[in-house]
Structure 1
Amino acid sequence: MKKGLQVLLSASLIIGLLAGCGSGAQTAPASSSAGGSSTASAGTKTIRIAAVDPQVPLDMQQNTYSIIMRLTDNVAESLISSQKDGSLAPLLLDQMPTLSEDKLTYSFTLKSVKFHDGTTLASSDVKYSLERLVKEEKMASLMAYVAGYDAMESGKATELSGIKVVDDTHFTITLSKPYSPFLSVLSTPYAAIYPKAACEAAGDTWGLKTLIGTGPFKLDSYTAGSGAEFSKFSDYHGGAPKIDKISYKFIEDPNTQVLEYQKGNVDFVDLDNSLYPVYSSNAALKDQIHSFQQAGGYYFNFNVKTIKDPKVREAISLAIDRKSICDSVLHGTASVPTSFIPASLTGHDSSAQAFAYDPAKAKSLLASAGYASGYNLRVTVNTKSNLGKSIATAFQQEAKAAGINVTVEPVDSAAWSDMKKNGGMDCSVSNWYVDYNDPDSMLYPVSDNRADLVSSFWHNAQFKQLMEDGVKTDDSAARQKIYVQAENILTRQDFAIAPLINETKFYLLNPKVTGFEINSDNRMDFSKADIG
């Protein structure tokens, strides 16, 4: 069942489905006006959300798409939470863990926490969950620095030797070498803690019929093609939620989602950037539009095996009129980047200039590289990414001034995945958003251990060393210098990628809803939400 659902996902979801869906509220009878609300029974507070159907188990360890995270964030919790400002705080722990002098061993103490099935969280559940992350393989490399990872990942061991259970509330995690972002890794949804007994008993129905965590809401039902229902967990360790239910309604089309919001049938919906100009001038809706800046953005990913000359890659970068794309394609809701590393992360170079548009220089570079008569470029886009297609189409026109003849190649999700694996792309419109608030996460897709998997095949010894140096130290000033240098090599010396745009994310929220938050890594929190 799991394998079949994953195939279905690859045919229906996209790389760019990273802005999720939100929240709403209702305590009154149904209303036909925007921001209205309804409830199944009198006095029940229900938030209704328009969402994209994941069509796979609701488990971020099995499938890493953020549309799953939007449904599971308030069900399953990690040991540590990432705050709105990017800082870390203990969630299932009494306090932040202590670190040994050699910076290898973290010591943890769990606080008294109940799972939704009434069992008590124990150290053995933590060990099980983090080892399950490795077994599920999707994001196994997040545990790569834990001692014993190589043996477990290769099948030579069945557990991570670096995780030691001391007793029910105390455990240690020992790394094979210092890795300063490790606590940030433990805050990701992939490091969710599940009850071992219940998860094993559920088998392939985990995330479909059964999903048990420690969060403020518990799963009641999940129906592909329809929606998902959640109810509050009264024994939540952070205090019982004020909201009784969260109801997700699966609606694929962005326009239809907004229409449902206007009818008062949902309380939260993501607002596609293409729709922002229309509704931002709508008197009834403009004050219900909210925004946040997600750490990440879109970029051209170059295959350096087929586009070998850095001069050619630089010319392509100079042929992109990013400002025009921001204005025409994204209607002023995006900005021209100055760095691949966004401003919210260590390593962002605030003194760097925005990536330039200079077709004359691009043409000169192409001539010096042997393409005085012009250069033919194939740009591959996923058909499920409307924004990706629009960016590529805009670039197709812009690049003519530089003598670059662009062919836009649309492919479906299955072909996209295959081409990524076999190196079948020359240049693709890709996007990346951090899994945790650290520059190591931002540079992850182009790092030495991932370059082949994303069809860039770019390897640079100096860049690799800087990446290794960056995770060995927790000195913020030193890390800033390291990642500024690494990013400069990536985008301005080797031109291994070409950053395109940083877009702002928008959503519509019923004004009756209070206490709701989205942070920079796109995590949603309903634990303190209420309906006024």
Structure 2
Amino acid sequence: MKRKYLSLLLAVVMLVTCMTACGGAGTEDSSTEQTAGSGEKILRVATQDPQVPLDMQLNTYSNIMKVTDNITESLLTTNSDGSLEPTLLTGMPTLSDDKLTYSFELKDGVKFHNGAVLTSNDVKYSLERLVKKLKMASLMDKVEGYDAFFNGEADEMTGIEIVDDTHFNIHMSEVYTPFLSVLSTPYCAIYPAEACEAAGDSWGMTELYGTGPFMLKSYQTGVGVELVKNPDWHNGDVKLDGIKYTFIDDSNTGLLEYQKGNIDVVYMDASLYPTYANSDIKDEIHTFEPFGGYYMSFNVKDIPEVKVREAITYAIDRKALCESVLFGTATPASDFLQKGLIGYTDSLEQFEYNPEKAKELLAEAGYPNGYDLRVTVNTKYPTTLTIATALQAQMKEAGINVEVEQVDSSAWTDMKANGGVTCGISNWYVDYNDPDSMLYPVSDGHSDLNSSFWHNDEFKQLMIDGVQTDDETERQAIYQRADEILTHEDFAVAMLYNETLFYLKKPYVTGFEVTSTYRTMFANTDIVTE
């Protein structure tokens, strides 16, 4: 099971959550009065209807995570700067000298929302449940006993050892230094074993108990979610009395609701940014840059010549793509790793649009009269079609004749699995703040997910070396070299751009931000009515 392939779905949900509005001081006043008059501080957030259980072990959509981040907690939290801090633990875990055993101590007396006390058994249950539910199972694939448990040959993962109610060890089958970052993801949320097991299919629908600052009051598909303050939160009191998520799938409706003052926080599609950037709500627009981006993925069986792939790289006008097609809301990118991730460097060439050089490279590769390229896109995701159409026009100047093939999701999945995509438009976003998470889709053994079939011995060894050291200087050199091989030597992919994403927040809402891993937590949020 490939743990991060579904991050593509998460990224797409990020793109299609297109809600915004324009309004002046009158709107803010009416909203503030309404909130204050209720006697409670209820934050009102617009989001899309997931129509599935609120369970990140079952579904990886970002609109689920925006809710569950405030209900459930993982053992650790990744901060916006990439650092880790203990959440349900007394301190950071200790690591054995051979780097194969992590030892943990839970905070004493932490309670789930149903009153059950958190124990080591809940941790073991939750991490094993993650494997059983399959979606993100291989987040645990370096834990001792994973294979036997995943294949149904064992009843437990032997690598998760319960010492007592508050102490447990996790034994690794091999050194994997990003493991603590893995444990900070929402997929590794800790559930109360007895209640979760008893709830069955109701978990995430009518029942969902975590240890977080807010508790699930109701969840109605087609309507929304209501959360109330957890009065016994182990990390102290929160300022909000609750959160009300309203499901609004139509962007125009979301805009009107924000304009009327019925919504406090709403995510805005990048295509709408130019319209409102200079409006009277410009100061309510906030941005964040997720770790990830869009790129062209090549099937190296269909395009075996490195010079052809290099020619395609120079035939892309990234600047025009970002400024004209993407409304100035994206940044041209030539490297897979971006600033903020270990391995990023500004020393690699940033590819300029050079159709003449592309022609020369094609001629050297044996194509003096031009090259025919089929680019396949999934019609479910209109952004990829927009990009492919723009590239079709750009590449014509380099003698590359692009045929844009549109297929539905079913055909796309089959073609990917069977290597039928010669060239595709892909995107990728990290599950945790580490270059291993970013480079995962193109790493050896997984690139077939993108119909790539690319292999490089040095790159493969670098990916192994990168997770077996925790020395940041060493890791910087390792992943910098890996990116260079991927994007500037083998041209296994052609990076296109990194995104800037947008949300609107009323001025009276304080104390939160959306992180580069798209985590949205309201524990420190307040509504200031004065």
Q: TM-score of the superposition, structure 2-length normalised?
A: 0.93
Higher mean Cα deviation, 378-387 or 135-144? 378-387
The residue type equivalent to 2:254 in the other structure is: Q
- Is the 2:334–2:496 contact (alpha carbons within 8 Å) kept by the matching residues of 1? no
1:421 to 407, 413, 417: 417
* Secondary structure of 1:228's aligned partner: strand
**What do residues 350-395 of structure 1 show as CA deviations (whole Å, max 9, x unaligned)?**
2123223211111122222232222222222233433322221211
C-alpha separation between the residues in 2 aligned to 1:36 and 1:310?
58
Assess, with a 3 A threshold, how the Cα gap between structure 1 residues 396 and 34 changes in structure 2: closer, same or farther. farther
- Is the 2:19–2:267 contact (alpha carbons within 8 Å) kept by the matching residues of 1? no
C-alpha separation between the residues in 2 aligned to 1:360 and 1:296?
30
2:102 to 106, 121, 134: 106
Deviation at 1:310, TM superposition (A): 1.8
1:489 to 480, 485, 490: 485
* Secondary structure of 2:161's aligned partner: strand
Q: Does 1:356 align with 2:352?
A: yes
Counterpart for residue 311 of structure 2? 315
Pairwise CA RMSD: 2.3
Deviation at 1:279, TM superposition (A): 0.6
**What do residues 102-159 of structure 1 show as CA deviations (whole Å, max 9, x unaligned)?**
1111110000311011101100000111111111111111111111112112221121
Runs of 4+ in 1 over 6 A off after TM superposition: 20-24
Q: Does 1:456 align with 2:421?
A: no
Counterpart for residue 36 of structure 1? 31
- Is the 2:11–2:429 contact (alpha carbons within 8 Å) kept by the matching residues of 1? no
Q: Does 1:191 align with 2:188?
A: yes
2:248 to 232, 248, 251: 251
Assess, with a 3 A threshold, how the Cα gap between structure 1 residues 384 and 225 changes in structure 2: closer, same or farther. farther
**What do residues 465-523 of structure 1 show as CA deviations (whole Å, max 9, x unaligned)?**
11001100011111111101111111111111111001111110011101112211110
C-alpha separation between the residues in 1 aligned to 2:253 and 2:307?
45
Deviation at 1:187, TM superposition (A): 0.5
Q: Does 1:304 align with 2:300?
A: yes
2:120 to 114, 119, 123: 123
Assess, with a 3 A threshold, how the Cα gap between structure 1 residues 440 and 36 changes in structure 2: closer, same or farther. same
C-alpha separation between the residues in 1 aligned to 2:493 and 2:377?
15
C-alpha separation between the residues in 2 aligned to 1:126 and 1:20?
34
1:137 to 134, 139, 151: 134
Aligned residues: 516
1:388 to 372, 384, 387: 384
2:44 to 48, 65, 90: 48
Assess, with a 3 A threshold, how the Cα gap between structure 1 residues 326 and 474 changes in structure 2: closer, same or farther. same
Higher mean Cα deviation, 69-78 or 330-339? 330-339
Deviation at 1:65, TM superposition (A): 2.0
> What percent of counterpart residues are identical?
60
The unaligned stretches of length 5 or more in structure 1 are: 1-9, 25-29
C-alpha separation between the residues in 2 aligned to 1:415 and 1:278?
36
C-alpha separation between the residues in 2 aligned to 1:504 and 1:195?
37
**What do residues 241-281 of structure 1 show as CA deviations (whole Å, max 9, x unaligned)?**
21112111222233432332122121111111111111111
The residue type equivalent to 1:182 in the other structure is: F
Counterpart for residue 474 of structure 1? 470
C-alpha separation between the residues in 2 aligned to 1:142 and 1:159?
16
C-alpha separation between the residues in 2 aligned to 1:22 and 1:173?
41
* Secondary structure of 2:12's aligned partner: coil
C-alpha separation between the residues in 1 aligned to 2:291 and 2:438?
8
- Is the 2:15–2:269 contact (alpha carbons within 8 Å) kept by the matching residues of 1? no
Counterpart for residue 446 of structure 1? 442
- Is the 1:110–1:123 contact (alpha carbons within 8 Å) kept by the matching residues of 2? yes
- Is the 1:425–1:455 contact (alpha carbons within 8 Å) kept by the matching residues of 2? yes
- Is the 2:289–2:501 contact (alpha carbons within 8 Å) kept by the matching residues of 1? yes
Counterpart for residue 27 of structure 1? none
Higher mean Cα deviation, 143-152 or 378-387? 378-387
- Is the 2:56–2:186 contact (alpha carbons within 8 Å) kept by the matching residues of 1? yes
1:149 to 146, 149, 173: 146
Counterpart for residue 4 of structure 1? none
C-alpha separation between the residues in 2 aligned to 1:35 and 1:457?
58
**Map 1:50-69 → 2, pairs under 5 A:** 50-69=46-65
Q: Does 1:514 align with 2:507?
A: no
Counterpart for residue 232 of structure 1? 229
1:262 to 240, 259, 264: 259
* Secondary structure of 2:447's aligned partner: coil
1:165 to 154, 162, 177: 162
Deviation at 1:14, TM superposition (A): 7.2
Deviation at 1:19, TM superposition (A): 5.6
The residue type equivalent to 1:134 in the other structure is: V
C-alpha separation between the residues in 2 aligned to 1:14 and 1:81?
19
Q: Does 1:276 align with 2:276?
A: no
- Is the 2:10–2:62 contact (alpha carbons within 8 Å) kept by the matching residues of 1? no
C-alpha separation between the residues in 2 aligned to 1:379 and 1:230?
45
2:362 to 366, 386, 393: 366
Higher mean Cα deviation, 58-67 or 506-515? 58-67
* Secondary structure of 2:295's aligned partner: strand
- Is the 1:227–1:247 contact (alpha carbons within 8 Å) kept by the matching residues of 2? yes
The residue type equivalent to 2:52 in the other structure is: V
Higher mean Cα deviation, 417-426 or 225-234? 417-426
C-alpha separation between the residues in 1 aligned to 2:469 and 2:462?
11
* Secondary structure of 1:453's aligned partner: helix
1:204 to 196, 201, 208: 201
The residue type equivalent to 1:247 in the other structure is: K
Assess, with a 3 A threshold, how the Cα gap between structure 1 residues 63 and 235 changes in structure 2: closer, same or farther. same
The residue type equivalent to 2:80 in the other structure is: K
* Secondary structure of 2:168's aligned partner: strand
- Is the 1:17–1:67 contact (alpha carbons within 8 Å) kept by the matching residues of 2? yes
- Is the 2:334–2:494 contact (alpha carbons within 8 Å) kept by the matching residues of 1? no
C-alpha separation between the residues in 2 aligned to 1:21 and 1:87?
28
